[in-house]
């Protein structure tokens, strides 16, 4: 369970919780973000749609996103609403929570290796990254891609940086962006096959020399497909454009027909 930064949620805050007990008058749940703090979900706040039995809408053990509607800071009592949470809010919050708990695990594993306490881990790393980026997992993804300055800029102490990056690389799966072009490369000369190969080789050599991942294959002569792969679309498109310029230049030199069309996403 993650370490809560504050004791109670604020009114209007979206919180992830687990349904624990269901009664005719409502349900009790534990707020995952607040160390299992007990909260009450009134019958009237379960759904705006008609239902006969509460269990038609919720069940014990179910994870839900609720909105805090009443917070008694003296009694430390919280009432929440399920029906006041939109589908969009629920999806975004649940996705954030899954990413947040994964990021916290990375920090906790690093703390164990460094011999630091969980309190130190959250205070010095998790909450610093939340203040800077909100999505802690995003910070780790960016750090793995762009370098340790992402963590430094959030104020993470230096002795955490490299161990965090080492651990993050084991758990962060970066998405790859793929841009795809349909090519027509055709020659009517006696050296047609060699000239077409020369144009395609020029493209491949440019990408390989820049350490860019790519696929270049035939779709049935004179049609070919070029796929350029990178961590983001902007970079992939940039390399693809430059590679195609190289191929087009070679085609002009050899009198080869060369056309390229970006495949729509």
DSSP 38: E
Question: Any alpha helices (H) in the chain, and if so which ranges?
Answer: 87-114, 118-121, 127-133, 136-146, 149-152, 158-171, 192-209, 233-254
Is 37 within the bounds of a domain?
Answer: yes
**Cβ-contact 36, 29 below 8 angstroms:** no
DSSP-derived secondary structure letter, 134: S
On whether both 47 and 107 belong to a single domain, the answer is no
Q: Do the domain assignments include residue 124? A: yes
Q: Is 1 a member of any domain?
A: no
User: CA 236, CA 253: separation in Å to the nearest integer?
Assistant: 26
In a domain, 2, yes or no: no
Cis peptide before 28 (omega within 30 of 0): no
Q: How many CB atoms lie within 10 A of CB 11?
A: 12
Report the CATH number at residue 30: 2.40.50.140
- Residue 3 placed within a domain: no
| Half-sphere exposure for 20 (CA within 13 Å, toward CB) | 12
Enter the tokens of residue 84: 């006041």
Q: What is the pLDDT of residue 225?
A: 96
Predicted model pTM: 0.67
**Boundary residue ending a domain (130, 148, 171):** 171
Specify burial of residue 61 (Cβ count, 10 A radius: 0-12, 13-18, 19+).
exposed
Q: Which residues are within 8 A (CB) of 120 and not within 5 positions of it... i.e. 6 or more apart?
A: 111
200 and 247 in a single domain? The answer is yes
DSSP 1: -
As a whole number of angstroms, the distance between CA 164 and CA 121 comes to 11
Q: Domain check: are 157 and 216 in the same one? A: no
Burial (CB count <10 Å: 0-12, 13-18, 19+), residue 30: middle
For residues 263 and 179, give the distance between their C-alpha atoms in angstroms, rounded to a whole number. 8
In whole angstroms, what separates CA 111 from the centre of its chain? Answer: 23
- Co-location of 227 and 158 in the same domain: no
Q: Quick one: DSSP state of residue 54?
A: G
In a domain, 218, yes or no: yes
* C-alpha span between 207 and 211 (Å, rounded): 6
Q: How many domains does the chain contain in total?
A: 3
pLDDT in tens, the chain (265 residues): 788 999 999 999 999 999 999 998 999 999 999 999 999 999 999 988 888 888 888 999 999 999 999 999 999 999 999 999 999 999 999 999 999 999 999 999 999 999 999 999 999 999 999 999 999 999 998 898 888 999 999 999 999 999 999 999 999 877 778 999 999 999 999 999 999 999 999 999 999 999 899 999 999 989 999 999 987 788 899 999 999 999 999 999 999 999 999 987 6
Residue range(s) defining the domain that contains residue 217 = 177-262
Q: What is the pLDDT of residue 172?
A: 86
**Residue that is last in its domain, among 153, 171, 189:** 171
For residue 145, give every residue at least 6 positions away whose Cβ sits within 8 Å of its Cβ, in sequence order, or none: 174, 231
């Amino acid at each position: 369970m993650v370490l809560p930064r504050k004791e109670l949620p604020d009114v209007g805050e979206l919180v992830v919780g687990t349904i624990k007990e269901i009664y005719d008058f409502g349900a009790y749940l534990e707020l995952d973000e607040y160390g299992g703090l007990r909260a009450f979900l009134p019958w009237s706040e379960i759904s705006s749609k008609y239902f006969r039995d509460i269990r038609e809408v919720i069940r014990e053990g179910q994870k839900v996103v609720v909105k805090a509607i009443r917070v008694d800071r003296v009694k430390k009592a919280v009432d929440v609403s399920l029906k006041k949470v939109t589908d969009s809010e629920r999806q975004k919050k649940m996705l954030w929570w899954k990413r947040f708990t994964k990021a916290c695990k990375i920090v906790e594993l690093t703390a164990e290796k460094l011999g630091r306490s969980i309190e130190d881990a959250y205070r010095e790393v998790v909450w610093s990254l939340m203040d800077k980026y909100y999505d802690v997992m995003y910070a780790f993804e960016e750090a793995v891609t762009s370098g340790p300055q992402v963590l430094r800029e959030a104020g993470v102490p230096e002795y955490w940086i490299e161990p965090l990056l080492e651990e993050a690389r084991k758990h962060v799966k970066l998405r790859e962006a793929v841009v795809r072009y349909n090519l027509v490369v055709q020659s009517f000369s006696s050296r047609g096959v060699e000239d077409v190969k020369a144009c395609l080789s020029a493209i491949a050599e440019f990408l390989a020399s820049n350490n860019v991942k790519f696929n270049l294959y035939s779709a049935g002569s004179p049609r070919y497909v070029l796929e350029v792969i990178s961590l983001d679309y902007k970079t992939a498109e940039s390399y693809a454009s430059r590679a195609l310029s190289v191929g087009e230049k070679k085609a002009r030199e050899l009198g080869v027909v060369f056309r390229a069309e970006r495949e729509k996403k």
